[in-house]
Structure 1
Amino acid sequence: MARFLVTGGAGYVGSHVVLALRERGDEVVVLDDLRQGHRAAVPVGVELVVANLADRRRVDEVFAGWRFDGVLHFAALSLVGESMREPMRYLAENLSNTANLAEAAVRAGCRRFVLSSTAALFGNPERMPIDETAGITPGSAYGESKFMAETALDWADRVHGLRSAALRYFNAAGADPQGRLGEDHQPETHLIPLAIDAALGLRDPLTVFGTDYPTPDGTCIRDYVHVTDLADAHLRVMDALETGPSVRYNVGNGLGHSVKQVIEAVERISGRPVPHSIGPRRAGDPAVLVASNEKLRRDTGWSPRYAGLDEIVRTAWAWRSAHPRGYDDRAAPALQDAPPPARAA
């Protein structure tokens, strides 16, 4: 049995990774400041340490309290629009927190590190699907901050031997197929949960930004990858780092779906209309963003199990319709933020 530290493990993707680790028998410690995460998203039996990665002393205490076989890092500021209003905050916090975590891992002798990165590194790429050779041209401070974090990890490997994998994923979507976890952001910015909430009457009608793109139906096309498949990818690359070198992967279904197709899928699965209006294009929105996942498939044997848009939407609808107020609908477990044990086990 291995033991892993998952930062941001009370958040959307992080909690699904924690669940996947627990299901295969690994021990997990979650470090999360709960600004965006939810106590109720942390599975029973998983230790939750409420702390911020800027607190270097606290991070060191966590590594002193447990001996970890690897770190999976999801804790970051992640709103593209907000990053363009507060670029210095995003650049400073996402880089420094990653560096703090990597330094603590090196000091503790932990030699594997998986970074939750982003397709926002690629800006407006010239060819589709986007593979790992595409030029890095971030179109936002958020994307730039993730590239800076990747660069810091490259140096941690070169100087200290900290092997890392960065997963540059596109649009994480869906929910745990058994209904145990789901997507609950404040504010919500992702299309599928926005469309579902509009169908449920939980928010104002959806706005479709532009219908005159050079796509079959005139709306933007994006690559949606099921969050459970994404969790599987994280576990596979973590395992590969035990003997393999540092690596960077693009993660997606390799298939694109338009905004209109997403709305139609939500209506088809829910049996309800999705109220929406047509708005102008948003500045900087590319017409098509689709990932190549060939390198990940070739190196790790990964393939998406929930590749169909209807499969993705069905799991998202099942969770959200059962929990219209998100995790507030669920009784949060009584967790005590106890200090780490005094000795590494």
Structure 2
Amino acid sequence: MQSIGRTRTQSRPSRSVNLGGMDYPDPKRKGNFVGKVALAAIMTTVCILVLKKSSFNYATPFSMREEGVTHVLVTGGAGYIGSHATLRLLKDGYRVTIVDNLSRGNIGAVKILQELFPEPGRLQFIYADLGDAKAVNKIFAENAFDAVMHFAAVAYVGESTMYPLNTCATYGEPEKMPITEETTQVPINPYGKAKKMAEDMILDFSKTSDMAVMILRYFNVIGSDPEGRLGESPPPELREHGRISGACFDAARGIMPGLKVKGTDYKTHDGTCIRDYIDVTDLVDAHVKALEKAVPGKVGIYNVGTGKGRSVKEFVEACKKATGVDIKVDYLPRRPGDYAEVFSDPSKIRNELNWTARYTDLQQSLKVAWRWQKAHRDGYGTPSVMAS
């Protein structure tokens, strides 16, 4: 850097200063007003360019790799499952970037996570739509990710029959129970068909890539963070398409006049659908174990469930006991796209990833979730005092 305040002991002749291939008279020449203005303009331009470059290329912990720190991109991280997964990752020392367009997620969940982990370089939130290729490319260009956990999806069965481009269960209605990873995938609704298409694309891509891939097929998710920090809060307009646990809680809180059970003539012991209910805490534990065991160039496919099926009627009774409310139940015709009986054989994930569901008491999982619902009557709005 040159000293600007330096004085000279003798005069010097006029000379030209070459800047970028253009000649300008020496600005120190007395009376050369045009030269002074030109140089000032050039210096201003240079300063602006330097400021722009420094602001756009400013290095952050999220843009650099750090030894011993794994940076995970969590898509849909503001949603029910994604927020719980983010909480677990942060607790375990991971660096996390959430990308969510908030069409299903809650910015309130993100704020809670930021309050729990305020240290620089732990968590960042990016508002973006994964369908926007330009935005996605920019995100990957500006961040150094080591892994991705993908939860961004439109994942309600009822909604899928009206809007087919969403995702989830792929097995359809198998002839034999329980379901293993080798069970033929024949989805009978748009909900499962889109998920299978996504799996097929991933498998095709993996054939020419050394990327480590883990595909987890999970069942009906229930529960919430045992410490009461996070819960499930779907958009009000999707309540009728959501999970049965949400419907039970809405009925118990009086938001809905009662619970609608769709289908009582299935070939099951009590005529209602049978499902495998997995607690969200167990589910995110499976994701972390999958991340830890992922091997470059290989694909792992695992069912994540308890291995035990419970009927809708059994679920409703457990919900009544968990909430302490005698919920009114209306029995209606079947919902299009529902299967009669679906539950998993989790032996593969137990043997290969050392994972087993621990939170298998249906009533207890519902009780934990109900405690959050009571304390957050407006979802992620202003919480009330936690009740036992």
TM-score (norm 1): 0.84
2:126 is aligned with 1:49: yes
2:231 is aligned with 1:182: yes
d(CA) in 2 for partners of 1:325, 1:313: 19
d(CA) in 1 for partners of 2:86, 2:100: 12
Higher RCO structure (Cα 8 Å, ≥6 apart)? 1
Partner deviation per Cα, 1:79-138 (whole Å, 9 max, x = no partner): 223322233xx1xxx6xxxxxxxxxxxxxxxxxxxxxx73x2111111111111111111
Equivalent residues in 2 for 1:185-224 (5 A)?
Answer: 185-186=234-235, 187-188=238-239, 189-224=242-277
d(CA) in 2 for partners of 1:244, 1:302: 22
2:191 is aligned with 1:142: yes
Change in CA separation of 1:284 and 1:29 when aligned onto 2, cut-off 3 Å: closer
Q: 2:157 aligns with which of 62, 70, 80?
A: 80
Q: 1:31 aligns with which of 89, 96, 99?
A: 99
Name the SS for the 1:167 alignment partner. Answer: strand
Q: Please report how far the alpha carbon of residue 237 of structure 1 lies from its aligned counterpart in structure 2 after TM superposition.
A: 0.7
| Aligned residue in 2 for 1:338 | none
Q: Please report how far the alpha carbon of residue 243 of structure 1 lies from its aligned counterpart in structure 2 after TM superposition.
A: 5.5
Change in CA separation of 1:256 and 1:201 when aligned onto 2, cut-off 3 Å: same
| Aligned residue in 1 for 2:342 | 289
Partner deviation per Cα, 1:219-259 (whole Å, 9 max, x = no partner): 22111000010000111111111457211111111111111
| Count of paired positions | 303
Q: 1:227 aligns with which of 280, 284, 287?
A: 280
Kindly provide the amino acid, as one letter, of the partner of residue 206 in structure 1.
L
Name the SS for the 1:154 alignment partner. Answer: helix
d(CA) in 2 for partners of 1:309, 1:36: 25
d(CA) in 2 for partners of 1:280, 1:82: 17
Partner deviation per Cα, 1:20-65 (whole Å, 9 max, x = no partner): 0000011100000011111111211421100011222221222222
d(CA) in 2 for partners of 1:280, 1:329: 38
| Aligned residue in 2 for 1:151 | 200
| Aligned residue in 2 for 1:165 | 214
> What is the CA RMSD across the aligned residues, in angstroms?
1.7
Q: Please report how far the alpha carbon of residue 152 of structure 1 lies from its aligned counterpart in structure 2 after TM superposition.
A: 1.2
Q: Please report how far the alpha carbon of residue 208 of structure 1 lies from its aligned counterpart in structure 2 after TM superposition.
A: 1.6
d(CA) in 2 for partners of 1:330, 1:154: 43
Q: 2:88 aligns with which of 9, 20, 24?
A: 20
> Which of the two has higher C-alpha Rg?
2
| Aligned residue in 2 for 1:129 | 178
Q: Which moved more, 1:282-291 or 1:152-161?
A: 282-291
Name the SS for the 1:325 alignment partner. Answer: coil
Contact 1:196 1:274 in 2 (8 A): no
Kindly provide the amino acid, as one letter, of the partner of residue 109 in structure 2.
A
Partner deviation per Cα, 1:250-306 (whole Å, 9 max, x = no partner): 111111111111111111122211111121233443321111111111111111121
Contact 1:8 1:75 in 2 (8 A): yes
Kindly provide the amino acid, as one letter, of the partner of residue 190 in structure 1.
R
Name the SS for the 1:122 alignment partner. Answer: coil
Q: 1:2 aligns with which of 70, 74, 87?
A: 70
Structure 2: gaps of 5 or more residues: 1-68
Partner deviation per Cα, 1:315-343 (whole Å, 9 max, x = no partner): 11111111122113359xxxxxxxxxxxx
Percent of aligned pairs with the same residue? 41
2:315 is aligned with 1:262: yes
Contact 2:161 2:336 in 1 (8 A): no
TM-score (norm 2): 0.75
Kindly provide the amino acid, as one letter, of the partner of residue 132 in structure 1.
E
Contact 1:153 1:162 in 2 (8 A): no
Show structure 1 runs of 4+ deviating over 6 A.
Answer: none
Partner deviation per Cα, 1:122-170 (whole Å, 9 max, x = no partner): 1111111111111111112221111111111112211122221111111
Kindly provide the amino acid, as one letter, of the partner of residue 183 in structure 2.
A
Equivalent residues in 2 for 1:89-100 (5 A)?
Answer: 90=165
Contact 2:233 2:379 in 1 (8 A): yes
Q: Which moved more, 1:206-215 or 1:125-134?
A: 206-215
Structure 1: gaps of 5 or more residues: 95-116, 332-345
Contact 2:258 2:327 in 1 (8 A): yes
| Aligned residue in 1 for 2:21 | none
Q: Which moved more, 1:5-14 or 1:38-47?
A: 38-47
d(CA) in 1 for partners of 2:176, 2:257: 35
